[in-house]
Structure 1
Amino acid sequence: MRDTGTDDPRVKVRPNRRGSRPRTKIRPDFGNALTARVYRVDRGRYHLVLEEAGTAVVAVKARELGRGAIAVGDRVSVVGDTSGKKDTLARIVRVLDRTSSLRRTAEEGEAAGNERVIVANADKLLIITALAQPEPRTGMIDRCLVAAYDGGMEPVLVLTKSDLADPAPLLDHYRDLNLKVLATSINEETGHDGVDIVAEEVTDSISVLVGHSGVGKSTLINALVPDADRATGSVNAVTGRGRHTSSSAIAFDLEDGGIIVDTPGVRSFGLAHVEPNTLIKAFPDLMELAEECPRGCTHAETEPECELDTATGSTALRVASYRRLLEARHNAEQF
């Protein structure tokens, strides 16, 4: 037999293209990393504010964090050049634990099943709804309520354009949810009516605004943060829907303390990620009844042995409200 060792011309020895440096299991130590909050995400650049120094810094994220790992409102650890000088970049190496998250699941016509966090660590979700131009859509409000309860935020319903329509019918629709409601009117003739109440509500907290295009989110932001200079738009006279003026979420510091986050106007809000048992936690008065339900009960109206059916009086009204939100969780209708 012939020797087919490395001297044999038939044996091909490939050069080591990756070099000869041995791999190591020792990971870098980021003990000296600084903590910052994400205020804006723009084409792979993360605009941060350092918590201690208050310096505005632009950063990129470490490759191991993966795509979509960072959202506006996140608290992150950063290393590298944190001077904030022009043309300098820091590096985000860690995302700290979140206290809450506003999440949305893509629906039909989008990348199905694609769940993403829109805003992290918010205390309150302000659901901005116009009483007219465009008309209020309770389906969207219901979905936002589900997202708030699921994400660990306090929902607040903010009614804009209150000078154009009576809020009573809409308020009656939500009377059994113990929902905090604020009303504002902002236009050239009446000025800023009710904005001071909203300002008091969001002071010393992190609040995120969500709602349809054209309901007045950007106008409200400009009233609360005069330097924000958010673009405002009108409502389409044919469709009755607003035109998109905000393309991405962005956070602003409030003068009296706190942070407010403006989000792009949405026409749908997928909730496939929300579990029914998570949603009912927002109704502590119904939890005791639900514990008596058979295993696997979804608490829907069609369940044959759901204990929620035994509720009476005001509790029965609460059950009806809960089931309406449960239906919104399953409803894939575009708004």
Structure 2
Amino acid sequence: MSKRQYDEDDVRVRPGKGSRPRTRIRPAHEDAVEGFVVAVDRGRYTTLVEPEPSRGSKRKGPQRRLVVAMKARELGRKGIVVGDRVALVGDVSGRPDTLARVVRVEPRTSMLRRSADDTDDTDGIERPIVANADQLVIVTALADPPPRPRMIDRILVAAFDAEIDTLLCLTKSDLAPPEELVSLYEPLGVPHVVVHKGGSLDELRDHLVGRLSVLVGHSGVGKSTLVNALVPDANRAVSHVNAVTGRGRHTSTSAMALELPEGGWIIDTPGVRSFGLAHVSVETVLAGFPDLVEGTVDCPKGCTHLGDDCALDAWVAAGNADPHRLESLRRLLASREGGADDVRRDPDPTT
């Protein structure tokens, strides 16, 4: 019996893993639509897509809609946060159970960041909060819980590093007067508004209209209450302050952008109990205290502003600046080098 003769039809040739030609050319996605990221949840990005402008056609295009998207593989490790302007492809209809792809993140005008701890660099240090904000509203209560000036200082430094305007919003003024805390930040030129429960928010609205503002503050200061008053249909959960610890519960679990009826956007963020500055240079920390910068002119070369030979001591003693400001600056600098406890472990809740 003769052996069967095989030909090419009898053999299946499987291409190897390296047979596909590689190229660095990536699709331009010229048909991508623009979106504004309003929420992020476990790898899903809720984006607002505006209707495309008409081009002479009488037929109306898709209306303003929310589109849920995932990150395209080509973006790699590039992160996406609330406030980002992105390009979307795929199903951008916004219908339930549809999913688009984010293929591009547009250049950012600003990025507000923090680190979980000033001395811990095991998880990448920088933790982005929001992108493209042009105003940071620091919400702090005058009582219940008491204000924490050092936390405010840290947030101001982060805003200075991100080149974002700042506004100090003091809540619960019916429980304590604002004058002492306001006087502490007057030398810095930080604008402020004072509100209380049930009171008018007109002054605060004037600062928010037409801007993209991010609200930051530790838990229990009334941030979610403010958001619900500014955006009636926001329905943000409201917490209560623990009578024993003086701390509030985290009710906002993720950042969310909300549109103001008068125009503009606010981004509500989860309450924070620490605001690390490991990603900010020492020079930037000092620049965040402009009332003290002039006093460093006579400092010796390489001065850390923590030792006995620092010229800031004589500068402040001469009445040129508030001693509390120098104390706050040195606490920030010391915490960066592991020489002081972080503000979140401060036994005195008023500091």
Q: What TM-score do the two structures reach when normalised by structure 1?
A: 0.83
Which stretch of structure 1 is more off in the superposition, 37-46 or 25-34?
Answer: 25-34
Is residue 126 of structure 2 the alignment partner of residue 115 of structure 1?
yes
The structure-2 alpha-carbon separation of the partners of 1:279 and 1:214, relative to structure 1 and needing over 3 Å to count, comes to same
What is the match of residue 146 of structure 1? 157
What is the match of residue 227 of structure 2? 221
SS of equivalent residue, structure 2 residue 67: strand
Is residue 209 of structure 2 the alignment partner of residue 203 of structure 1?
yes
The structure-2 alpha-carbon separation of the partners of 1:79 and 1:175, relative to structure 1 and needing over 3 Å to count, comes to same
- The separation in 2 between residues aligned to 1:56 and 1:152, in whole angstroms, is 30
The structure-2 alpha-carbon separation of the partners of 1:131 and 1:310, relative to structure 1 and needing over 3 Å to count, comes to closer
The structure-2 alpha-carbon separation of the partners of 1:289 and 1:129, relative to structure 1 and needing over 3 Å to count, comes to closer
SS of equivalent residue, structure 2 residue 343: coil
Is residue 181 of structure 2 the alignment partner of residue 175 of structure 1?
no
Which stretch of structure 1 is more off in the superposition, 103-112 or 137-146?
Answer: 103-112
Q: CA deviation at 1:302?
A: 2.6
8 Å Cα contact 1:177/1:318 also seen in 2: no
Q: 2:142 aligns with which of 115, 126, 131?
A: 131
What is the match of residue 266 of structure 1? 272
Task: Work out the number of aligned pairs and report it.
Answer: 315
* Aligned-partner residue type, residue 150 of structure 2: G
List alignment gaps of at least 5 residues for structure 1: 1-13
Q: 1:302 aligns with which of 301, 307, 314?
A: 307
8 Å Cα contact 2:291/2:321 also seen in 1: no
- The separation in 2 between residues aligned to 1:62 and 1:303, in whole angstroms, is 54
1:50-78 C-alpha deviation (Å, 9 max, x unpaired): 25543321111112324461111111122
Task: Please give the residue correspondences for 1:43-192 in structure 2 after superposition, counting only pairs within 5 Å.
Answer: 43-51=42-50, 53=52, 54-67=64-77, 69-107=79-117, 113-186=124-197, 191=198
- The separation in 2 between residues aligned to 1:318 and 1:225, in whole angstroms, is 38
Quick one: percent identity of the two aligned structures? 52
Q: CA deviation at 1:312?
A: 7.5
Q: CA deviation at 1:323?
A: 6.6
1:214-250 C-alpha deviation (Å, 9 max, x unpaired): 1101000000000100010111111111011110000
Q: CA deviation at 1:85?
A: 1.7
- The separation in 1 between residues aligned to 2:343 and 2:49, in whole angstroms, is 41
Q: CA deviation at 1:310?
A: 7.4
- The separation in 1 between residues aligned to 2:186 and 2:18, in whole angstroms, is 69
Q: CA deviation at 1:212?
A: 1.1
- The separation in 2 between residues aligned to 1:123 and 1:94, in whole angstroms, is 22
8 Å Cα contact 1:57/1:82 also seen in 2: yes
* Aligned-partner residue type, residue 234 of structure 2: A
* Aligned-partner residue type, residue 180 of structure 2: P
SS of equivalent residue, structure 1 residue 185: coil
- The separation in 1 between residues aligned to 2:218 and 2:98, in whole angstroms, is 37
- The separation in 2 between residues aligned to 1:33 and 1:292, in whole angstroms, is 56
1:120-161 C-alpha deviation (Å, 9 max, x unpaired): 111111111111111111121111111111111111111111
* Aligned-partner residue type, residue 192 of structure 2: V
- The separation in 1 between residues aligned to 2:299 and 2:120, in whole angstroms, is 36
- The separation in 2 between residues aligned to 1:326 and 1:83, in whole angstroms, is 53
What is the match of residue 9 of structure 1? none
Which stretch of structure 1 is more off in the superposition, 86-95 or 211-220?
Answer: 86-95
8 Å Cα contact 2:292/2:321 also seen in 1: no
- The separation in 2 between residues aligned to 1:34 and 1:288, in whole angstroms, is 49
Which stretch of structure 1 is more off in the superposition, 63-72 or 219-228?
Answer: 63-72
Q: What TM-score do the two structures reach when normalised by structure 2?
A: 0.80
RMSD value, Cα: 2.9
What is the match of residue 343 of structure 2? 333
- The separation in 1 between residues aligned to 2:243 and 2:332, in whole angstroms, is 28
- The separation in 2 between residues aligned to 1:57 and 1:238, in whole angstroms, is 43
Which stretch of structure 1 is more off in the superposition, 125-134 or 88-97?
Answer: 88-97
- The separation in 2 between residues aligned to 1:330 and 1:18, in whole angstroms, is 54
Q: CA deviation at 1:295?
A: 5.9
8 Å Cα contact 1:106/1:113 also seen in 2: no
- The separation in 1 between residues aligned to 2:165 and 2:302, in whole angstroms, is 28
